[in-house]
């Protein structure tokens, strides 16, 4: 009796990736975040990087969900020039007690944020906005993840802030960096906490690609 090694009909991982709906599409990442760029490259997308500057101040009575969705959309709306198939913007914020925690302005604020997050849960909201550039079709999603911190000592907070890592991070920590030592557990999207929820981003990208293919097919009939 002969035994044959099982071979997936998808072929090699590289061949399988080449058949995903977004392959061959040019994506413009409207962000200067190295973390978002690395996450996209992780799934085989090497985007054009096109950072923009917007006013990130929350509006009066604006909910955290509306806030991050608005910022992601405003970023995309400033990068609609030709040269790509899609423009992708994202924004991440930390929310505790309905209060938005952005990036700390100084070490003292970073220490205050971390003390507030210590020993409890908080939410991380990441909004993604994706625009199909040829017809300006725009779709936005907000992904919420709950993160639990262990109880931090004053020494742990001081040492982490002294590392410099909290200073350009929403909520004053980075899950993908040294800040991982504070996280007890996560419920939701790990990549969303880092800055780009991959499953939701790729699902949205696939949806817009599929819609485009259906439109082209119907137009050819």
Considering only residues 17 and 110, tell me which one the structure prediction assigns the higher pLDDT.
110
pLDDT tens for 102-161 read 999 999 999 999 999 999 999 999 999 999 999 999 999 999 999 999 999 999 999 999
Predicted TM-score of the model (pTM): 0.86
Distances (CA, A) of 38 to 79, 93, 172, 192: 20, 19, 20, 13
- Tokens 């550039």 locate to 133
Residue 69 CA to residue 139 CA, distance in Å, equals 10
The structure tokens listed for 32 are 């200067």
Among 210, 3, 98, 80, residue whose Cα is nearest residue 218: 210
Burial (0-12, 13-18, 19+ Cβ within 10 Å), 29: buried
Q: Which CATH number fits domain 22-220: 3.40.50.720, 3.90.950.10, 3.40.50.620, 1.10.760.10?
A: 3.90.950.10
In this structure, the strands spanning 27-29 and 48-49 are parallel
Q: Which residues contact 86 (CB under 8 A, 6 or more apart)?
A: 22, 25, 26, 27, 28, 130, 131, 132, 133, 205, 208
At 219 the pLDDT is 47
Residue 115 CA to residue 33 CA, distance in Å, equals 26
User: Mean of the per-residue pLDDT values for the chain?
Assistant: 90
Instruction: Sketch the domain layout of the chain as residue ranges.
Output: 22-220
Lowest mean pLDDT among 10-14, 85-89, 146-150: 10-14
pLDDT tens for 37-82 read 999 999 999 999 999 999 999 999 999 999 999 999 999 999 999 9
How many helices (H) and strands (E) in the chain?
A: 7, 7
At 24 the pLDDT is 83
Confidence grade of residue 85 (pLDDT, cut at 50, 70, 90): very high
Residue 155 CA to residue 175 CA, distance in Å, equals 19
At 203 the pLDDT is 94
Average pLDDT estimate for 166-185: 96
Catalytic residues: 91
- The helix (run of H) or strand (run of E) holding residue 125 is strand 121-132
Cβ distance 161 to 154 under 8 Å? no
């Amino acid at each position: 009796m002969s035994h044959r090694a099982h071979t997936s009909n998808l072929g090699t991982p590289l061949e399988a990736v080449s058949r995903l709906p977004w392959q061959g599409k040019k994506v413009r990442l409207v962000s200067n975040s190295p973390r978002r760029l690395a996450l996209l490259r992780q799934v085989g997308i090497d985007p054009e990087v096109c950072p923009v500057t917007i006013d990130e101040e929350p509006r009066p009575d604006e909910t955290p969900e509306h806030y991050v969705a608005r910022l992601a959309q405003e970023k995309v709306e400033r990068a609609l020039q030709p040269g790509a198939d899609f423009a992708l913007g994202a924004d991440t914020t930390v929310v505790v007690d309905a209060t938005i925690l952005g990036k700390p302005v100084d070490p003292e604020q970073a220490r205050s944020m971390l003390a507030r997050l210590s020993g409890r849960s908080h939410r991380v909201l990441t909004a993604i906005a994706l625009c199909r550039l040829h017809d300006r079709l725009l779709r936005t999603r907000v992904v919420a993840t709950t993160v639990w911190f262990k109880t931090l000592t004053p020494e742990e907070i001081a040492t982490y802030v002294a590392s410099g890592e909290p200073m350009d991070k929403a909520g004053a920590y980075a899950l993908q960096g040294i800040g991982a030592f504070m996280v007890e557990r996560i419920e939701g999207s790990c990549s969303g906490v880092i800055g780009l929820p991959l499953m939701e981003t790729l699902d949205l990208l696939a949806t817009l690609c599929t819609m485009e293919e259906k439109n082209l097919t119907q137009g050819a009939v």
